[in-house]
Amino acid sequence: MCVVFLVVERTRSMLLGLGIVLGFASIGFLCWLLFLCAVYAAPLFVAAMVCTILYDHGVLSGAHAILAGIAAGIVVLATGQAILASSRDPALRVAVSVQLALPAALAGFGTTLGFCGMGDMSAMPAYLFATFGALCVGGAAWTRLCAIQSA
C-alpha cells in the first residue's frame, strides 16, 4: 500500500513538472511564431477587412469574399515588398516600412496582453508588458522589412 502511494506521488510530481516545462515551451513557440509572422500582419489585416466588408454588405457570397480578401492581402504584400525592393528613396522606404510594421506592433500588443491575461496579473503591469511586447514585435517586423535590399 505504501509503495503504491509513493509511485503515484512520484508520477504526479513528474507530470506536474512535465506540464510546467511544456507550458513554457508552448509559450516560447507561440512567441517565436509571432516574431516570425509579424511582417505579414498588415496583409492579413487587409485580407480580413476586405473579406468582412464584402460579405457583410452582401456584395459577395462567403467563398467569393474569402477569395477577394486573399487577393487583396496578396496585393498589399506584393506591393509593399516591390516598393521596398525597388525604391532607393529613404523617405518612401520608411513610410512603407512604418505602414507594414504598425499592424505587427498592434498584434504584438494584443498577444502579449493575452499572455498576461493567462496569469493573474493586474492591469498596470499587464499593459506595461504589452507595450514592451508591442515594441519588440514591431521592432522585429521593422528590422525584417529594412533587411529587404533595394535593387
**pLDDT range class, residue 49, cuts 50, 70, 90:** very high
Give percent of the chain above pLDDT 70: 92
* 3-state per-residue secondary structure call for the chain: CHHHHHHHHHHHHHHHHHHHHHHHHHHHHHHHHHHHHHHHHHHHHHHHHHHHHHHHCCCCCHHHHHHHHHHHHHHHHHHHHHHHHHCCCHHHHHHHHHHHHHHHHHHHHHHHHHHHHHCCCCHHHHHHHHHHHHHHHHHHHHHHHHCCCCC
Q: What pLDDT does 145 receive?
A: 84
> For residue 1, is pLDDT > 70?
no
Query: Over the stretch 116-146, which tens digit does the pLDDT of each residue have?
Result: 888 778 889 999 999 999 999 899 888 888 8
**pLDDT range class, residue 6, cuts 50, 70, 90:** low
pTM of the model: 0.73
Give percent of the chain above pLDDT 90: 28
Q: What pLDDT does 5 receive?
A: 58
**pLDDT range class, residue 42, cuts 50, 70, 90:** confident
Question: What mean pLDDT comes out for the span 42-49?
Answer: 90
